[in-house]
Structure 1
Amino acid sequence: MIKPFTTALLALLLVSSEARAGHYPVTVQSCNREVVFQHAPEHAVSNDVNLTEMMLALGLKSRMAGYTGVSGWSTGNEALRAQLKGVPELARQYPSVEVLVNAGVDFYFAGWNYGMQVGGPVTPATLAPLHIAVYELSESCAHVMPRPAATFNDVYDDLRNLGRIFDADAQASMLMDDMQKRLAMVTRRIGNNAAPPRVFVYDSGEDKPFTAGGLAMPTALIKAAGGRNVMDDVQQSWTRVSWESVVARNPQAIVIVDYGAVTAAQKIQFLLDQPALRNLDAIRDRRFIVIPYDSATPGIRNVAAVETIAHALHPKAFAQ
């Protein structure tokens, strides 16, 4: 005989299960596509450190069949490796179709130039016949469709959509609320600035610097920190520009994206050693701001980047 308490508990679990099942199907916008999910993915893979951190922050580790594109670019850190314990890295850089299929993947969280390339072998179109759904990082959509400059809304949209896809809406809301509160604190500190400091983003490159154009996330980070990306009129995402264009725009500070085999210190020394750059305000003042890769690219670390940049651009505002 089933006791009344047990019967009530079974009924509650049944109602809860039905309520969760009622969450689906879910339709989300991914770049210029609508993607329908009949249920939460069970064997997900994320590419790159920033996308993987979003998955972990949403409590989705148990749903992950693996991750890709971290060790090959030297973008991980000890804390992330500890969080990922037990989750395999399926590919050091971009995964192949075969790697994803062999791992039984049903969901790939990636982006254009974040695990996929236009015209490459791994795309939403090539994975669809294999029953692998793809959600594309919003900022990266600039590579496949016209879109405005990146903003924090892109990150919020990604968190919100992942929350809907995996039935993790509450976790997504908590993350967004925390980010918004921290950003509001920075805004209150720095106040209005009629002449925001000019900032250049240096990722890598010697003959031509690889930098963030107006459609890349650092433009939004610098703006939120009370500065202006000197390349904000370049209607591209991450791209290469000429050193002549950098000189012409005379940045007052340079953000160094720290990752890979070349250290931030080595990147700074390279810039200091270039005769053509010696008259830049940023070079003369030795005004370099170092942020890690996962803070510069869209993800949960973006607010930390804003805080770092804001402290460097407006030290008096944070001196109290």
Structure 2
Amino acid sequence: MWRPVSGAVLTVGLLATACGGGGGGSASPDARGAGPRVSVENCDGEKAAFDSPPGKIVTSNASALEMLLRLGAGPKVIGTGFPPGKGALPAELAGQAADVPVLGRTVIPKEKLLGSGADVYVQTFRPANGTSTGPRPEEFDAAGIKVVELLSTACAAEHPGPQKDLSAVMGDIERLGTLTGTSERADEIVAGMRAKVDAVGERVAAVPEAERPTYFVFDFDAGTKQPSAVCGGQVANAVITLAGARNVFRDCEGTFEKTGWEDVVAENPDWIQLTVRNRGSAEADEKAFDEAERFLTSFPATRGLTAVKKGRFLRIRSERMTTPSVANAETVERIARTLYPDEFQDVR
């Protein structure tokens, strides 16, 4: 399992007057006049600087790839790991994603990554301590590759408290927009996400925190012997919170944690989200959701839960809320519509 780390900050030094590039020392004009100099501060505080927006990018997984495609920076992406499965992306992005070379079906092998010719490697998650087989910092340096980490996931462990909004995800989109010279498009995407989330917030605002329904994410693919808890540091916690629900495991630290069925029973959630990974087709996804629901309705420890007895299930793919994406805002609305149908009667 991946354990995330801290934050990434982007600053841009636009070409300026002879007096220099602005405050903080992280932005300066490009002496050759080639364009804005981009400085990126990663989780550990170290900065990666570019004389101009980099032209060759490798992404660690489909989440970072999708962000870049939405920004219109697809031509800059020369490779990815964990490529999007069939049906994972909207049709307008799927064709572009198919043109991106797959450097690894899972984690990109170190030799392939170092030999990719990339200027920058966008890393969505960091591996848990002691589990990484990827390049060391000095190996990235020798290959001329600079690493950019996503704030919302790679740096989640150092967020102060649980994630309760999508500001970190929106920040990632804005940062990648700055990095690739597509800031205008990034602003448009973020504005759309913010409008959707704000509209939901207005409709559920009248419900006191203590009266909001409790919510358990059942990650079927993580196993049934010992359930996985979505903790407060995960993007999914922000999605659940914004939708007007209370994640039953919001108080556990980090992003994910193994728990026991006795803990789920003790919480007795009002709603249960059935979560599976993309199976490649709507039919295959539904089959997996059916299996997850059958487990809960037949397993002795869970069949008596309030949500199970009342059939209060939501079926949402994992990728739509546990990784940073435009889909996070869409999922906020979907959950809220299910939990508060009366508040959305006037919305189609």
TM-score tier, shorter chain, comes to 0.7 to 0.9
The whole-number CA distance in structure 2 between the counterparts of 1:129 and 1:121 is: 17
Specify the code of the residue in structure 2 equivalent to 1:69: F
| Equivalent in the alignment of 2:275 | 257
2:34·2:51 contact (CA, 8 Å) conserved in 1?
Answer: no
How far has the Cα of 1:56 moved from its partner? Answer: 0.5
Residues 147-188 of structure 1 deviation map (CA, whole Å, 9 limit, x = unaligned)? 432231111221121112112111111111111111111112
Q: 1:77 to 1:165 in 2, by over 3 A?
A: closer
Q: CA deviation at 1:70?
A: 2.7
174, 191, 197: which one aligns with 1:177: 191
Check conservation: 2:60, 2:80, Cα contact below 8 A: yes
User: Superposition pairs for residues 61-76 of structure 1, below 5 Å?
Assistant: 61-70=74-83, 76=88
| More moved, 261-270 vs 285-294 | 261-270
Aligned partner of 2:212 in structure 1 is 196
The one of 159, 177, 181 aligned to 1:163: 177
- Report how far residue 78 of structure 1 moved: 6.3
What one-letter code is carried by the residue in structure 2 that aligns with 1:295? Answer: R
Rounded Cα–Cα distance in structure 1 between residues aligned with 2:80 and 2:318:
17
Contact 1:211/1:238 (<8 A) preserved? yes
Could you tell me how far 1:88 is from its partner in structure 2?
Answer: 1.5
Distance 2:272 2:293 in 1: 9
- Amino acid of the structure 1 residue aligned with 2:240: I
- Tell me the residue number matched to 2:304: 279
Q: Measure the CA separation in 2 of the matches of 1:272 and 1:205.
A: 16
Preserved CA contact (<8 Å) 1:70 1:76: no
2:156–2:233 CA contact under 8 A, matched in 1 = no
Q: Counterparts of 1:153 and 1:237 in 2: how far apart (Å)?
A: 17
1:302 counterpart residue number = 328
1:107 aligned onto 2:120:
yes
Q: Which amino acid aligns with 1:317?
A: E
Structure 2 counterpart of 1:14: none
Moved more, 263-272 or 214-223: 263-272
**Structure 2 stretches of 5 or more lacking a match?**
1-29, 280-284
1:118 aligns with 2:136: no
Q: Is the Cα–Cα contact under 8 Å of residues 232 and 251 in structure 2 kept in the other structure? A: yes
The answer to whether 1:319 aligns with 2:331 is no
User: Partners in 2 of 1:243 and 1:75 — Cα distance?
Assistant: 32
285-294 vs 191-200, greater mean Cα deviation: 285-294
How far 1:253 sits from its partner (Å)? Answer: 0.7
Instruction: State the aligned residue count.
Output: 300
Q: Rate the CA distance shift 1:35–1:75 in 2: closer, same or farther, 3 A.
A: farther
Separation in 2 of the partners of 1:18 and 1:192?
Answer: 55
**Deviation per CA, 1:173-209, whole angstroms, max 9, x where unpaired?**
1111111111111112223211110001122311111
User: Are 2:278 and 2:319, in contact at CA under 8 Å, matched by a contact in 1?
Assistant: no
Seen in structure 2, the aligned counterparts of structure 1 residues 138 and 312 have a Cα distance that, compared at 3 Å, is: same
Q: Deviations over 1:277-314 (max 9, x none)?
A: 12211111111112223311211111111011101111
In structure 2, relative to structure 1, the CA distance for the partners of 1:157 and 1:233 (3 Å cut) is same
Report the Cα offset of residue 124 of structure 1. Answer: 6.5
- With over 3 angstroms needed to count, the CA separation of the structure-2 counterparts of 1:221 and 1:19, relative to structure 1, is farther
Q: Distance in 2 between matches of 1:135 and 1:238?
A: 23
Question: Per-residue displacement from partner, 1:114-154 (whole Å, max 9, x unpaired)?
Answer: xx453312256252332211111223245764643223111
Pairing 1:42-61 to 2, within 5 Å after superposition: 42-61=55-74
CA contact 2:80–2:108 (8 Å) conserved in 1:
no
Shift of residue 29 of structure 1?
Answer: 2.6
**Contact preservation (8 Å) 1:163, 1:171:** yes
Measured at CA, do residues 291 and 20 of structure 1 come closer, stay the same or move farther in structure 2, by a change above 3 Å?
Answer: farther
CA RMSD of superposed structures (Å): 2.4
Question: Partners in 1 of 2:233 and 2:87 — Cα distance?
Answer: 22
One-letter amino acid of the counterpart of residue 216, structure 2: F
Q: TM-score, length-normalised on structure 1?
A: 0.85
Alignment of 1:179-258 (within 5 A): 179-194=193-208, 195-203=211-219, 204-258=222-276
User: Structure 2 vs 1, CA of residues 208 and 232 (structure 1 numbering), >3 Å: closer, same or farther?
Assistant: same
Q: Judging changes above 3 Å, is the alpha-carbon distance between structure 1 residues 75 and 48 closer, same or farther for their aligned structure 2 residues? A: farther
Deviates more, 1:37-46 or 1:212-221: 37-46
Deviates more, 1:103-112 or 1:254-263: 254-263
CA distance in 2, matches of 1:260, 1:124: 31
Runs (5+) with no aligned partner, structure 1: 1-16
1:229 Cα offset (Å): 0.4
